[in-house]
Amino acid sequence: DIQMTQSPSSLSASVGDRVTITCRASQSISSYLSWYQQKPGKAPNLLVYTASSLQGGVPSRFSGSGSGTDFTLTISSLQPEDFATYYCQQSYSTPYTFGLGTKLEIK
Amino acid sequence: QVQVVQSGTEVRKPGASVKVSCKASGFTFTNYAIHWVRQAPGQRLEWMGWINAGTGDTKYSQKFRGRVTITRDTSAITAYMELSSLRSEDTAVYYCARGSGYDLHFDYWGQGTLVTVSS
C-alpha cells in the first residue's frame, strides 16, 4: 500500500497568514493527489484534485502543487472559516490512501 | 444540484451485518463511480472500495475483502455498502462519495452514516 505522510500534524496560525501543508507519498503517484478539508462532524470537502486543479467553488486562496512523491497545499491568506483538518489522498493505486491529517488551529 | 444522501444511523451487535445506502441525484448516476470510505473515532479516513455505477464492476481494499460488498441499483439511483461479521473496531462513520475524472477524485460526499457495533 502507498503510505501518505503529512506534515505538520497540527499548526497554529492567525487570520491573514500564509500556510503550507506538505504531503509525501511512499512511492511516485504522478499527479494522482487530492486535498480535502474536514470540519468537525462534517464530511470531507474536496479542495484540489490532480495535485493542482482547484475544485469548482473553492476560493482561489487555496492552491496545490507537486508531482511524483512531494506535494503541497497552500492557503495564501487564512480566513476564519479555514480552521479545520486537511487531508491528502492518493488515487494512483488501490487501496486509495489518506494522510493522517493536519489540524489547523487559530493562534 | 449534485447530491448523495445516505441512510441513517445503525446499531448492530458483533457478528451481525449492516447495509448502508447512498442515493444520488442531480447527475447521471451511471457515468460515475461511487466510493465508500470510513472514519473511526479520531482516526484517518480509510477507503473501503468503489463501484462503477455503469458497469457494476467493483474494487475492494484487501483489508475488507470477504466482508464488504458494494452494489448498486440503477433504477433506484442508489449504491449500497454491506459489511458483514461486524466487530467493535468497525464502529465508525461510513461515507459514500462520487468518484470523478480519470483520477476518480471524491468530489461529492454523503453526509455520513454512523454505525455502532456494541454488544
Instruction: Indicate yes or no: CB of B109 within 8 angstroms of CB of A45.
Output: yes
Query: pLDDT tens digit string along B11-21?
Result: 999 999 999 99
User: SS3 of B14, please?
Assistant: coil
Distance from CA of A100 to the nearest CA of B (A): 5
The pLDDT value given to residue B6: 98
Minimum Cα–Cα distance from B64: chain A residue: A95
pLDDT digits (tens, 9 = 90+) for A45-72: 999 999 999 999 999 999 999 999 999 9
For the stretch B56-112, pLDDT in tens is 999 999 999 789 999 999 999 999 999 999 999 999 999 999 999 999 999 999 999
Q: Which of residues 57-86 of A touch B (CB under 8 A)?
A: none
Q: Could you tell me if B112 and B8 are in contact, meaning their C-beta atoms sit under 8 angstroms apart?
A: no
Q: Across the interface, do A34 and B45 touch by the CB < 8 Å criterion?
A: no
Question: Is the CB of B106 less than 8 angstroms away from the CB of A44?
Answer: yes
pLDDT category at A101 given cuts 50, 70, 90 is: very high
